[in-house]
Amino acid sequence: MNRFFLSINVRELVRPLGQLTLFSLGSAAALSIIVLIMALVLDQTIIGETLTEKLNVSLYTYTLINLPQVVLDGLTIGFVYAAIALGYTMVYGVLEFINFAHSEIFAVGAFVGVEILIALDQTGMLRNASLGMAYVFLIFAILAGMAAAGALAVTVERVAYRPLRGAPRLVPLISAIGVSFLLQDVIRLVEGLTTGDFNRIFPTFGNFDQRIIFGKLALGSTNLTLGVSIKSLIVIISAVLMLVGLNYLVNATRIGKAIRAVAQDRPTASLMGINVNRIISITFLVGGLLGGAAGVLYALKFTRIDPFVGFFPGLKAFAAAVLGGIGNLTGALLGGIVLGMLETFAGSYMGVFTMGAAGSEYKDIFAFSILIFVLIFRPQGLMGENVGQKA
Amino acid sequence: MALLETIDVVKTFGGLTAVNKVNIKLEQGRIISIIGPNGAGKTTFFNTLTGIYSPDGGEVNFNGRSLLKLRPDQIAARGLSRTFQNIRLFGDMSVIENILVGMHVHLKQSPISTLLRLKSFKQEERSAEKKAEELMNYVGLKGVGNEMAKNLPYGAQRRLEIARALAADPLLLLLDEPAAGMNPQETEDVTRLFRSIRDDKGITILLIEHDMRVVMNISEYIFVMDYGEKIAEGVPAEIRSNSRVIEAYLGRGAVAGQHEEKLQ
Amino acid sequence: MAPLFFKALLEKLNRGFWPYIIILSHTILGTSLVYSTPRSNVAFLVLITSLFSLYYFKTDSRFKIIAGAILALVVIPIVGVRNIFYLEVIFQISVFAALALGLNIVVGFAGLLDLGYVAFYAVGAYLWAFFGSQQYYVLSFAPGTQPSNLPFLLPGDAFYLFIFFAIIVAALTGILLGMPVLRLRGDYLAIVTLGFGEVIRVLANNLDKPLNFTNGPQGITPIQRPSMPQAVADWFNDLFGGIIGHTASIADLYNVMFYLFALLVIIVIIFVTRRLDDSKIGRAWTAVREDETAAIAMGVPLVKMKLAAFAVGASFAGAMGVLLAASRTFISPESFSFMQSIGVLSMVILGGSGSIPGVILGAATVTILNLQILQGFSLYLSELRQSDAIIPIINFAWRDLSTQLDPAKYQRLLFGLILILMMIFRPAGLIPAKRRKRKLASDTATAEK
């Protein structure tokens, strides 16, 4: 027992926690300052006046009071993006290949988790479950989603990508797009045949929907309750655990060392006696596990899922991975958090700042705009190395 | 005036200095070699000359003008043409088309004349095709014009790459290990080809080569690189007896002269 | 043994006068089948495949051109007006063939994976939808609140002008998007174009405020068509009325007209593609596709060439967009989804990227699969559902089959399967691209020896 604890590399456990805190606080602070400055400037204009008329509060105060909630929401979605982005970035790091089907791996995880909970709900077990049991069921659903998604990711790699290794770059990418489309309809088909409905709802149980209230803030003539829902906390905590676990796996274990070796130089790693195919399978497995868990967490947070649920989170997570520097694990964390924050900030404030002309309906394309800007000005991402084509 | 002159060219990758303050000077109309052990930075040096990498420091002057800040295609248009260490042909294009791509910078055809097949277009294409064929014959690829480049045997692919580079009418031809993987007979043939390229067309040739028979046979001047630095230069006889060169190839402690025949 | 036998048989049939007999009988059989049966997939397939026997069998090229022209310009309009169902399918095939040929320039020649190709199609469609409808006067109204008696901004005949505007606007859009991203590596480009496609769709969905440009998710209608002179209608009816069996209405004639326009665009694309392919530009595209580093070292300006491919491909999509808006008189953001882009991509991949006959075959196959086979299967299933039939052995009543199982809606499955299977088993497509053989002096010289 003692020996086991001694073999744990504490540094690799603490380091990602520090990074996560730093990234979260940093992006929250930076974005808060930006919106506050914008609010101060816009306060003098017609935009501020309109708001004062409507809510009897200055734009600056409105922005300030909403900030804590926006930051919390941004963090929640940011961690989900980070967990998905890690799947893209791991595969990219090892194979230099965009696993386009990762968004559907995520969706399958969500569906498996939700279906299990729905089945449990129908037996009545969920409703009568004690609080402790509710958490057990939730953890079980997350694990099942992870297992299904992990197995699927490995299968997809085996069937649709491995035969194409060594082909021109676009060939496996096109195949991956095919897999993505195929899986969307397979989910739809399976759900349609078995349940007759492919819009599934995460069952209500446990105390996940409750909010922990920190306090009330006066917002002009109304009040704003500041709080965080328990499910958001669960999402954040689980994501942090996964991210720390993955970081440990990659940076402090033998398998991680092999993964890094394959990523660095596949032929040489193979000469050193590393079974490259196995390592690639493990990479997909790990990415799939993370994606599956993220899927169930996503379903917990947003309740409703459909077969296309993976598309936007997947693309945004990819954007996050690129933003952070694709192939770089820390970068994926940073990218996910920054993108989640940016998106939530934009969704919350753009409507007010533009007097309703452009609001949260544009938040889905926000990620793409960021993606395009990053690729133009810093294609290697915030933390990545140069990704220019090798000569 | 020198055709090509580099002054203190530096190229680094992260912490690794692949090319470190290399100065070379090429006189027009000569055949010059760069030699050095594997990983000495020769190919990186080529890539900085042709603009595939931009140097982190120093000057590259070609034909009286600086090549810094130019894109590879602009550098090619200035008359610097190259082949690659690991043959890079357009595999799914025919032999003749590969050569025609090499003429890209000289073809004037506009989109309009292309679409309308104007007389100017047809004439240009016809003369380009004729020239491409002459080049094919010149490098010894008679009669395979319609073959796909990827279907050619290895030696022919090397020749095609040379023909493609010549198609641009370069002032300077950079050859990256042109004799690699060839048998003695083929090596002798391409060596003769290089000499005739210089003699017939007056094209200056700079080549990277490991095969010392080729190097010592045709080079009129040699630069030696090791660990990213130029460690020696001179005519073949000087290089053969240079102790730093022998050291670089055979390791410290090797006695000069003892292994001289190996270098020959 | 069997494939060898067929190969030998086909070779035998591909000599002398046999090809003429086969093509003629195939075409005549197809025509008469389609002429006599109102809604038969089989008959339609026989007719449409006659185009491919025309392509496959070796005949005099003049014969090919004349036969093809008669088929496309006489036979199809006649059977199409007689039976509007066929014309609709052929029109769809033509539209997708034109789009796929346009995308083929980008993907097949220059090797740039564009996943947002329909964005350019949308640009063209919305351009004409805005100027060719009342939308200009609806700008200040929220969707659904405008008065009903608004005038049209431009006459319908401005359509012709807007085809050219759309070509220019779509090409400029392509260049604007391409400029920053074309220096990126191929897979990044794919994702960025995908993102751009989504941006255009989201804009189309949401630009109904602050000013109502696109009318949001409801889409814009009515969109004008170019005028159809009565004289043309009379002429058509005088000429073909007898064979068709009824007088063609103006609506029928519009369908023929838009089919012919689509055909014209296809012909222009093929013309442009072939001429460019066999020139400095086309060779540069192929070189860029084959090996970017070698191409740039040979003096091919990468970004410029890629931009050119992007702009040419985009401009054709723009023109087709105008055509679509006018022919449908209605457009909405739904027609320009990511799935449409992938659909067009799967046509290119299935047929053979870079290969003109391949891409047309791909477009025809996917469209028929999509419109005819999947939908036919849907109809069949819904019939079964209404019957008392039972699947034997497992004793499953068709009646209990979920109504969610509607094959017509499983296009993603179809596209996905096409993409995966083609990449694994036949990445060059059904009809792989061929490079042109040149007549070379040295070849004849060797032959003479």
Question: Which ipTM was obtained for this model?
Answer: 0.91
Q: Does the pLDDT value for residue A6 go beyond 70?
A: no
Give the Cα separation of B125 and B143 in Å (integer).
19
- Kind of pairing between the strands at B31-35 and B204-208: parallel
**A200-223: pLDDT as tens digits:** 999 988 888 888 888 777 766 677
- Domain hosting C253: range is 88-349
Per the domain annotation, does C185 fall within a domain? yes
DSSP labels for A341-365?
Answer: HHHHHHHHHHHHHTTTSS-GGGHHH
**C404-446: pLDDT as tens digits:** 677 888 889 999 999 999 999 999 999 998 877 787 766 554 4
Domain end marker among C33, C60, C82: C82
C179 and C326 together in one domain: yes
Query: Cis link prior to C222 (omega < 30° from 0)?
Result: yes
pLDDT at C1: 55
Q: Give the nearest chain B residue to C280 (CA atoms).
A: B104
Give the Cα separation of A217 and B233 in Å (integer).
79
Chain B residues lying within 8 Å of A391, measured CB to CB? 47, 52-53
pLDDT at B25: 92
C12 and C160 together in one domain: no
C183 and C314 together in one domain: yes
C62 and C168 together in one domain: no
Average of pLDDT values for A325-338?
A: 88
Domain end marker among C82, C107, C124: C82
Q: What confidence tier does C185 reach under pLDDT thresholds 50, 70, 90?
A: confident
C11 and C73 together in one domain: yes
Alpha helices by DSSP H, listed for A44-101, are 46-55, 59-95
- Kind of pairing between the strands at B57-62 and B65-66: antiparallel
Chain B residues lying within 8 Å of C294, measured CB to CB? 84, 88-90
Element (H, E) at A251: helix A230-252
Average of pLDDT values for C244-251?
A: 84
User: Closest Cα to residue A371, out of A291, A328, A332, A315?
Assistant: A315
pLDDT at C210: 80
Q: What does the block give as tokens for C351?
A: 């047929």
C60 and C163 together in one domain: no
Give the Cα separation of C110 and C301 in Å (integer).
13
Task: Find the range with the poorest average confidence among A123-127, A161-165, C413-417.
Answer: A123-127
Chain B contact present for C270, CB below 8 A: no
Chain C contact present for A92, CB below 8 A: no
Per the domain annotation, does C420 fall within a domain? no
Per the domain annotation, does C364 fall within a domain? no
Q: What does the block give as tokens for C13?
A: 């049939």
Q: What confidence tier does A387 reach under pLDDT thresholds 50, 70, 90?
A: very low
**Residue C160, class by beta-carbon neighbours within 10 Å (0-12 exposed, 13-18 middle, 19+ buried)?**
exposed
Q: What does the block give as tokens for A174?
A: 């096109």
Domain end marker among C331, C349, C367: C349
pLDDT at A1: 53
Q: How large is the angle between the packed helices C186-206 and C338-351, nearest 10 degrees?
A: 140
pLDDT at B261: 44
C274 and C152 together in one domain: yes
Per the domain annotation, does C61 fall within a domain? yes
- Domain hosting A27: range is 2-390
The CATH number of whichever domain residue A287 belongs to comes to 1.10.3470
**B198-239: pLDDT as tens digits:** 999 999 999 999 888 889 989 999 999 999 999 999 999 999
- In degrees, to the nearest 5, what angle opens at C-alpha C187 toward C-alphas C185 and C191? 115
Instruction: Looking at the complex, report in whole angstroms how far the Cα of residue C404 sits from the nearest Cα belonging to chain A.
Output: 5
Widest CA span in chain A? 72
Per the domain annotation, does C276 fall within a domain? yes
C128 and C74 together in one domain: no
Average of pLDDT values for B117-124?
A: 94
User: Closest Cα to residue C292, out of C432, C103, C110, C102?
Assistant: C110
Per the domain annotation, does C437 fall within a domain? no
**What is the total count of domains within chain A?**
1
Residue A56 is given by DSSP the state S
Q: What does the block give as tokens for A74?
A: 């941004």
Q: What confidence tier does A385 reach under pLDDT thresholds 50, 70, 90?
A: low
Within 8 A by CB and 6+ apart from A35, the residues are: A63, A67, A345, A349
**What is the total count of domains within chain C?**
2
Q: What does the block give as tokens for C274?
A: 């072939």
Q: What confidence tier does B253 reach under pLDDT thresholds 50, 70, 90?
A: low
**C304-334: pLDDT as tens digits:** 999 999 999 999 999 999 999 999 999 999 9
Chain B residues lying within 8 Å of C296, measured CB to CB? 52, 71-73, 76
Average of pLDDT values for A377-383?
A: 81
Subunits in contact with chain A (3 or more CB pairs closer than 8 Å): B, C
C298 and B102 within 8 Å at the Cβ level: the answer is yes
Enumerate domains of chain B plus CATH numbers: 1-79+170-264 (3.40.50.300), 90-169 (no CATH)
Q: What does the block give as tokens for C48?
A: 């449409």
Give the Cα separation of C397 and C400 in Å (integer).
6
Residue found under tokens 């045949």: A193
Q: What confidence tier does B252 reach under pLDDT thresholds 50, 70, 90?
A: low
Q: What share of chain A is helix, strand, coil (3-state, %, to 5)?
A: 75, 5, 20
C54 and C198 together in one domain: no
Q: Give the nearest chain C residue to A193 (CA atoms).
A: C402
Within 8 A by CB and 6+ apart from C186, the residues are: A169, A170, A173, C111, C112, C113
C76 and C135 together in one domain: no
**C257-294: pLDDT as tens digits:** 999 999 999 999 999 999 999 999 999 999 999 999 99
Residue A198 is given by DSSP the state S
Within 8 A by CB and 6+ apart from B182, the residues are: B154, B155, B158, B190
Instruction: Looking at the complex, report in whole angstroms how far the Cα of residue B193 sits from the nearest Cα belonging to chain C.
Output: 20
> Is residue A312 within 8 Å of C198, Cβ to Cβ?
no
Within 8 A by CB and 6+ apart from C283, the residues are: B93, B97, B100, B101, B104
pLDDT at A221: 67
Q: Give the nearest chain A residue to C108 (CA atoms).
A: A170
Per the domain annotation, does C210 fall within a domain? yes
% chain A with pLDDT above 70: 95
pLDDT at A4: 62
**Residue B67, class by beta-carbon neighbours within 10 Å (0-12 exposed, 13-18 middle, 19+ buried)?**
buried
> Is residue A364 within 8 Å of A314, Cβ to Cβ?
no
Chain A contact present for C188, CB below 8 A: yes
Instruction: Looking at the complex, report in whole angstroms how far the Cα of residue A238 sits from the nearest Cα belonging to chain B.
Output: 36
Q: What does the block give as tokens for A262?
A: 């394959």
Hey, is C281 helix, strand or coil? helix
C32 and C50 together in one domain: yes
pLDDT at B262: 44
pTM: 0.91
Give the Cα separation of A384 and A381 in Å (integer).
5
User: Half-sphere exposure (CA, 13 Å, Cβ side) for A12?
Assistant: 13
Chain C contact present for A184, CB below 8 A: yes
C70 and C94 together in one domain: no
C283 and B114 within 8 Å at the Cβ level: the answer is no
- Which residue among C346, C404, C417 sits closest to A198, beta carbon to beta carbon? C404
Q: What confidence tier does B70 reach under pLDDT thresholds 50, 70, 90?
A: very high
Instruction: Looking at the complex, report in whole angstroms how far the Cα of residue B88 sits from the nearest Cα belonging to chain A.
Output: 11
